[in-house]
């Protein structure tokens, strides 16, 4: 991967061809349902990837975008690996999963399962 390239934030992906304002490479971005892709693009922080910034540098990254990002990661985990697979002990009190990096992990996994079925996304 080119060190200057923007990495894909899907778990296990090593492609460095993600658009600078999107968290996923083209293949992973296109795995997401079209309505999800459109919302992720429409609410993106302009000029940078919202997944690459955190804390005080996260100005301009909306809660809506962050929610779409974490749901996107959960959907991609389901489509690539069948889910996160981490035991509940990997989740902190606020629901963040330290194995897969998803906020509200249980909720996002449940929604991801519904999205997978609704849009016929392939899983292993």
Q: Which residues contact 111 (CB under 8 A, 6 or more apart)?
A: 71, 74
Q: Where are the domains of the chain?
A: 32-119
pLDDT value at position 60? 82
Q: Considering only CA atoms, which of 7, 123, 1, 9 is closest in space to residue 65?
A: 9
94-102 CB contacts, 8 Å cutoff, 24+ apart: 100/11, 100/73, 100/74, 101/11, 101/73, 102/70, 102/73, 102/74, 102/77
> CA-CA distance, 51 to 70, in Å (whole number)?
9
At residue 38, the 3 state secondary structure works out as helix
Q: Considering only CA atoms, which of 78, 82, 73, 84 is closest in space to residue 29?
A: 73
pLDDT by residue for the chain (124 residues), tens only, comes to 445 589 999 999 988 789 999 999 999 999 999 999 999 999 999 888 999 987 656 778 999 999 999 999 999 999 999 999 899 899 999 999 999 999 999 999 999 999 999 999 999 8
Q: Is the pTM of this model over 0.85?
A: yes
Other beta carbons less than 10 A from residue 40's beta carbon: 22
> CA-CA distance, 83 to 14, in Å (whole number)?
18
């Amino acid at each position: 991967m080119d060190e200057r390239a923007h990495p894909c934030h899907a778990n296990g992906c090593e492609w460095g061809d993600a658009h600078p304002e999107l968290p996923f490479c083209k293949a992973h971005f296109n795995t997401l349902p079209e309505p999800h892709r459109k919302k992720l693009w429409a609410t993106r922080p302009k000029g940078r990837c919202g997944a690459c910034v955190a804390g005080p540098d996260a100005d301009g990254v909306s809660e809506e975008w962050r929610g779409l990002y974490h749901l996107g990661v959960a959907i991609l985990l389901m489509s690539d690996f069948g889910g996160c697979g981490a035991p509940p002990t990997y989740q902190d009190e606020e629901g963040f999963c330290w194995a897969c990096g998803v906020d509200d992990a249980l909720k996002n996994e449940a929604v991801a399962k519904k999205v997978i079925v609704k849009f016929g996304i392939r899983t292993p």
